[in-house]
Amino acid sequence: GAGVSQSPRYKVAKRGQDVALRCDPISGHVSLFWYQQALGQGPEFLTYFQNEAQLDKSGLPSDRFFAERPEGSVSTLKIQRTQQEDSAVYLCASSSVGGANTEAFFGQGTRLTVV
């Protein structure tokens, strides 16, 4: 399994609960991205890391969303006080180095359902 790994695959949270979603990128990949995919929609960008530095967090929908990648490999997306509108598939992707020929490899996603 050399691909991007995400856990858990499924998460059911009660409204108001905090959740943490994990992403293990491909070993050696410098860039890491989080996307949110609501039902019937395409993935929407949340945030981007290059190594441990969070270079773009313009897509995070509110201050309840927080992402980190402290050692430049594994990343965690945390959602505080979950709301029903947070229900979506959260996708993680990694790529080796940015540039025109860089391919982003996606994980299987974590399906979050807030009840």
Q: Which residues on adjacent β-strands are paired with residue 53?
A: 50
Q: Residue 8 interacts with other proteins (CB under 8 A)?
A: no
Residue whose C-alpha is closest to residue 94's, from 38, 15, 45, 26: 26
Q: Residue 106 interacts with other proteins (CB under 8 A)?
A: yes
Task: Compute how many residues bind other proteins; rule: CB under 8 A.
Answer: 28
Nearer to other proteins, 14 or 101 (CB): 101
Q: Residue 33 interacts with other proteins (CB under 8 A)?
A: yes
Q: Residue 91 interacts with other proteins (CB under 8 A)?
A: yes
- Work out which of 14, 27, 28, 40 binds other proteins, going by CB under 8 A: 40
* 10's tokens: 């499924």
Greatest Cα pair distance, the chain, in angstroms, is: 42
Report the distance separating Cα 40 and Cα 94, nearest Å: 23
Q: Residue 99 interacts with other proteins (CB under 8 A)?
A: yes
Q: How far is the CB of 18 from other proteins (least distance, A)?
A: 26
Q: Which residues on adjacent β-strands are paired with residue 33?
A: 48, 93
**CB neighbours of residue 96 within 10 Å:** 15
Of 14-22, 63-71, 80-88, 94-102, the segment contacting other proteins by CB under 8 A is 94-102
